[in-house]
Each structure stands twice: as structure tokens, then as C-alpha cells.
């Protein structure tokens, strides 16, 4: 897939470091403060050299994948889903449980609930204001292709780690479904390199270790 070894190695190191940072952000139920994230990121810069792990744009979640949701629909039934938002300072992800009606398009309903924002007033939305879900499709191979409107880029969160939080929350939220193994984020139907220059979203992001 890559043109030459040097470019592949460079991208591998960058993805490894970004993936590791995202992992640290999500540990302890999303309660790691950004100061610790930044310090840990600095500590890992040297350690990343010589690592021989799987390359690609993966998001390591420290076995924190939420309890799988049964996606089958039965009239009148409800299901509890997990939505990931951030604290008031925008420094840590926090899960909010929500009960919604069970339906065939449960993944679509879940993403729309994420876009609507938290019910808990102490939490903040993680997806930029005005962002709309254009389409979502879970393929047989477990890749969930989720297409957002351009506002996810145009109205990027102002916090320093805003893009990282947005991507992590989307992947975590979709990762609760047993049929989703990885997430490919699109913007206006197109693959983009990133949402704000920090996190590579050009490739599908794994929901598992």
C-alpha cells in the first residue's frame, strides 16, 4: 500500500504514537487529565523507536470496549447504549448511559444521540456544533463507514485536544456494537487525512486491541 519503506516507517511511528496517546486519554473510564496525557506522550516519544507492533491507524482502548449491544429489534423494546462526552474542561472522556428504543438502525440512532449532545449538564458535546450524520453503513467485514457533514471540520472544538476527543468518542461509541470492528470516518462522502491536523483518519480505526 505504501510507496516506500521510509514513508511507511514514518507513518507507522506517527500512528503508533497517536494511538498510544488516545489509549492513555481513555483509560480509567476517560478520567485521565490532559496534563498526564501530554507528559505520557513526551515519555513515549523515545520508547516508540524500535517498537514492532501492527502498523496502521489503530485506536487502542485498553480492553475498555463497552458491553456489546444486541442490535436485533423487537417492537416496544428498549436498549441501553453508551455515549462518550467530555467533562466541563474538555480534558477527559466520560460515558453517559442512555436508554433508547431498540430499532433496526440502532447504530444510526446512537450516532445521532451522540450528535445531540449529553443530557447531563456537567458534560459537554464532543462533536462540533452543526455536524450532521449523512450516512452510516456497517459492512460485513466489520468496518463501519460513518459519513459526517463538513461542520465536523469547519466547527472543530477549540480545546487543544479537541480533535483527539472527537475521534476517540466516535470510535468508542460505535465500538460498543458487536458487529463493528473498525470505524472509517468520512466527511461529505470523502476520505480525509484528518479533522484538524492531529489524528490520521484516512484509514479505518480499530475498536479493539
Q: pLDDT in tens for each of the 209 residues of the chain?
A: 444 444 444 444 454 444 544 444 444 444 444 454 445 444 544 444 333 333 333 333 333 444 455 555 455 688 999 999 998 877 788 999 999 887 778 999 999 999 999 999 999 999 999 999 999 999 999 999 999 999 999 998 777 788 999 999 999 999 999 999 999 999 999 999 999 988 999 999 999 85
Q: Which of 92, 94, 153 is nearest to 127 (CA)?
A: 153
| pLDDT score at 126 | 93
What is the C-alpha to C-alpha distance for residues 162 and 164, in angstroms, rounded to an integer? 5
What is the C-alpha to C-alpha distance for residues 35 and 33, in angstroms, rounded to an integer? 5
Query: Is residue 13 classed exposed, middle or buried when 0-12, 13-18 and 19+ CB atoms within 10 A define those classes?
Result: middle
| pLDDT score at 69 | 55
| pLDDT score at 17 | 47
* Model confidence, pTM: 0.66
Task: Using DSSP, state whether 43 is helix, strand or coil.
Answer: helix
Beta strands in the chain (DSSP E): 78-86, 93-101, 133-138, 143-148, 182-187, 190-191, 205-206
| pLDDT score at 27 | 44
Domain count, the chain: 1
Local structure of residue 16 (DSSP, 8 states)? H
Q: Map grid coordinates 485506536 to a residue.
A: 59
What is the C-alpha to C-alpha distance for residues 55 and 40, in angstroms, rounded to an integer? 20
Domain boundaries, position 65: 5-206
Phi, psi (5° rounding) for residue 155? -110, 35
| pLDDT score at 26 | 46
| pLDDT score at 74 | 54
**Are 154 and 178 contacting, i.e. CB atoms less than 8 angstroms apart?**
no
Chain-centre distance of CA 110, in angstroms?
13
Query: Which cell goes with 199?
Result: 489524528
| pLDDT score at 65 | 44
Q: How many CA atoms lie within 13 A of 128 on its CB side?
A: 21
**Are 146 and 170 contacting, i.e. CB atoms less than 8 angstroms apart?**
yes
Amino acid at each position: 500500500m505504501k510507496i516506500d519503506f521510509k514513508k511507511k516507517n514514518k507513518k507507522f511511528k506517527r500512528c503508533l504514537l497517536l494511538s498510544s496517546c488516545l489509549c492513555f486519554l481513555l483509560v480509567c473510564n476517560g478520567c485521565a487529565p490532559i496534563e498526564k496525557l501530554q507528559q505520557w506522550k513526551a515519555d513515549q516519544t523515545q520508547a516508540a523507536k524500535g517498537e514492532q507492533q501492527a502498523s496502521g491507524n489503530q485506536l487502542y482502548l485498553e480492553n475498555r470496549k463497552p458491553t456489546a449491544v444486541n442490535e436485533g429489534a423487537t417492537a416496544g423494546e428498549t436498549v441501553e447504549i453508551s455515549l462518550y462526552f467530555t467533562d466541563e474542561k474538555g480534558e477527559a472522556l466520560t460515558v453517559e448511559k442512555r436508554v433508547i428504543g431498540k430499532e433496526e438502525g440502532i447504530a444510526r440512532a446512537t450516532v445521532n444521540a451522540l450528535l445531540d449532545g449529553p443530557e447531563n449538564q456537567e458534560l459537554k458535546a464532543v462533536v462540533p456544533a452543526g455536524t450532521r450524520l449523512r450516512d452510516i453503513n456497517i459492512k460485513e467485514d466489520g468496518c463501519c463507514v460513518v459519513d459526517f457533514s463538513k461542520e465536523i471540520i469547519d466547527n472543530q472544538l477549540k480545546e487543544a485536544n479537541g480533535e483527539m476527543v472527537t475521534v476517540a468518542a466516535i470510535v468508542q461509541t460505535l465500538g460498543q456494537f458487536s458487529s463493528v470492528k473498525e470505524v472509517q470516518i468520512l466527511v461529505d462522502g470523502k476520505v480525509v487525512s484528518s479533522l484538524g491536523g492531529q489524528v490520521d483518519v484516512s484509514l479505518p480505526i480499530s475498536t479493539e486491541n
